Amino acid sequence: MPNLLAYLVLTIWPLVGIMLFRRLPMAQALVWTILAGYLILPPPPAAFDFPILPPLSKETIPSITAFAIIVFMMGSKLRLMPESRIAKLLLLVFIASPLVTFYTNQEPVFFGIVGLPGMRISEGFALMMQKFLLVIPLLLGRALLVGEDGQKTLMVALFIGGLAYSLPMLIEVRLSPQINNWVYGYYQHSFAQSVRFGGWRPLVFLDHGLWASFYAMMAFVAAFALYRAKAMHSPKTTLALSGYLGGILVLTKSMGSIIYGVLIIPMMLFLNRKWQIKIAVILTALTLAYPVMKSANLIPVGLILEQAASFNQERAGSLRFRFNNEDILQERAMIKPVFGWGSWGRNHILDPVSGNIKTVTDGRWIITLGVYGWVGFFAEFLLLAYPIFAVWRHSRKPGVKLPLLTAPLTLLLAINLVDLIPNATLTPLTWLMAGALLGTVENIRKAAAPPPPTPKTYTTVL
């Protein structure tokens, strides 16, 4: 169980946010309030779980803090809503769909002698509030992380955060993942999953080793992108530190994130920015297509498992376990395909005697599909994907000059979407990247818009 310090740190984080906003420019303060909270605050189960309200945790407290401070500082000058009608519609459906999910899930569900209650209206509103809290980084990133300066602010923070986080990561690689236990009094995940390739996989204060490895990949890519864009004062130092972060990524021992890093760096080296954006669009489209193709049995699962087994039998077994659970959970999701099963774990299969959950949800897509149905899935994933498609559309227009860091940031967001198929690595940083890209596209659109016509004046001759 979390100790007193865990709850104390969650409680005082708004004060940390106030200090950051007093000392830093607003865009930097926004990024560091959310990023530092993500890296430092205790992971679940440490949270304040009040009645009716969604849990207040490391995922939401930094976002609420930044939102409250920025609203106080900017007042009516703050424009939160996207300008695109498509983005507005996706945002509305994303936030409001839990109310329909509640309406279609008021009946109890039974598994043998074990039953789960129907949803109540208060839970529908709580899920709506949770959705709004999740999307705050996108809204704030769209407003403040605009253009070259905003993207550089985000990338530099990912880079510096990665350097700082590398030290506790190295400690855990050597001594085993114990820092969260030492500081906050509990181990946040199954310890057995921290053993990989004869060594330890670091977690520090993140939910799982996969999360830590994915962040190491983001920091590595951000450092290399800053070097390629010549955005730092000392390119040689930046390149050297990028290599160091690449070594940290390898030490995290998560093959998925290592493969992502190995793929992105050559793209930035040998492809121009337009091709990088095209590849990001292809990866995003494949991500959106995966659940539909899985439902239609168009994914070559057998071939994928065969290739995985040729590389590593243990990883192939893990992948087979994921696919089996996906099949079971997707079959259940299709009983209520439009708006899903809602909360209380109704999207799972329960043991009919003990009531224990028998299924495991790894990928974000299957979680969202089971809880919120196809409407919730497409609202969430298209809201994240829309900035990538918007960047691509504007990159094809003649005369449009994108900021130098737009392409690597688009690739990072696309890779994060890809990772939501096997894992649930949807974090505030994902939403922040999407917001920065959306704000950049809107800024480009404004700059390219023709000036309003000058009103004609008439002279009266007497």
Domain edge (last residue) among 268, 301, 330: 268
Number of domains in the chain: 3
What does the alpha-carbon distance between residue 141 and residue 26 come to, in Å, rounded to a whole number?
Answer: 11
In a domain, 457, yes or no: no
Write the pLDDT tens digit of every residue in 413-442.
Answer: 999 999 999 999 999 999 999 999 999 999
pLDDT band for 462, please (50, 70, 90 cuts). Answer: very low
List the structure tokens of 411. Answer: 């690739």
Please indicate, yes or no, whether residues 259 and 305 belong to a single structural domain of this protein. no
Mean pLDDT of the 60-88 span = 93
User: Does the pLDDT value for residue 140 go beyond 70?
Assistant: yes
Inter-CA distances, 41 with 5, 32, 273, 301, Å? 10, 13, 36, 38
What is the SS3 assignment for 288-336?
HHHHHHHHCCCCCHHHHHHHHHHHCHHHHHHHHHHHHHHHHHHHHHCCC
Closest by alpha carbon to 154, among 442, 391, 430, 381? 430
Write the pLDDT tens digit of every residue in 106-116.
Answer: 999 998 888 89
Closest by alpha carbon to 402, among 447, 435, 432? 447
In a domain, 127, yes or no: no
Please indicate, yes or no, whether residues 2 and 22 belong to a single structural domain of this protein. yes
User: Does the pLDDT value for residue 459 go beyond 70?
Assistant: no
Instruction: Check: CB of residue 139 under 8 Å from CB of residue 146.
Output: no
Q: The tokens 């959970």 sit on which residue?
A: 329
User: Does the pLDDT value for residue 295 go beyond 90?
Assistant: no
Higher-pLDDT residue of 71, 51:
71
* N residues, the chain: 462
Q: Put residue 10 in one of left, alpha, beta given phi > 0 → left and psi -120 to 50 → alpha.
A: alpha
User: Does the pLDDT value for residue 448 go beyond 70?
Assistant: no
pLDDT band for 341, please (50, 70, 90 cuts). Answer: very high
What does the alpha-carbon distance between residue 109 and residue 117 come to, in Å, rounded to a whole number?
Answer: 7
Domain with 63, as residue range(s), is 1-78
344 secondary structure, DSSP code? T
Please indicate, yes or no, whether residues 283 and 428 belong to a single structural domain of this protein. yes
In a domain, 245, yes or no: yes
Please indicate, yes or no, whether residues 235 and 326 belong to a single structural domain of this protein. no
Closest by alpha carbon to 379, among 59, 88, 67? 88
Please indicate, yes or no, whether residues 286 and 237 belong to a single structural domain of this protein. no
Please indicate, yes or no, whether residues 176 and 57 belong to a single structural domain of this protein. no
Please indicate, yes or no, whether residues 35 and 62 belong to a single structural domain of this protein. yes
Percent of the chain with pLDDT over 90: 73
Please indicate, yes or no, whether residues 430 and 348 belong to a single structural domain of this protein. yes
User: Does the pLDDT value for residue 211 go beyond 90?
Assistant: yes
In a domain, 460, yes or no: no
pLDDT band for 248, please (50, 70, 90 cuts). Answer: very high
Domain edge (last residue) among 268, 300, 318: 268
Q: Quick one: how many helices (H) and strands (E) in the chain?
A: 16, 4
List the structure tokens of 387. Answer: 């900035």
Domain edge (last residue) among 59, 78, 97: 78
At residue 115, φ and ψ (nearest 5 deg) are -130, 150
The H or E element spanning position 114 is strand 114-116
CA torsion 4-9-11-14 (nearest 10°) is: 170
User: Does the pLDDT value for residue 450 go beyond 70?
Assistant: no
pLDDT band for 460, please (50, 70, 90 cuts). Answer: low
In a domain, 109, yes or no: no
In a domain, 92, yes or no: no
pLDDT band for 455, please (50, 70, 90 cuts). Answer: low
In a domain, 83, yes or no: no
Percent of the chain with pLDDT over 70: 97
In a domain, 204, yes or no: yes
Please indicate, yes or no, whether residues 292 and 380 belong to a single structural domain of this protein. yes
Write the pLDDT tens digit of every residue in 351-397.
Answer: 888 888 898 888 999 999 999 999 999 999 999 999 999 999 988 88
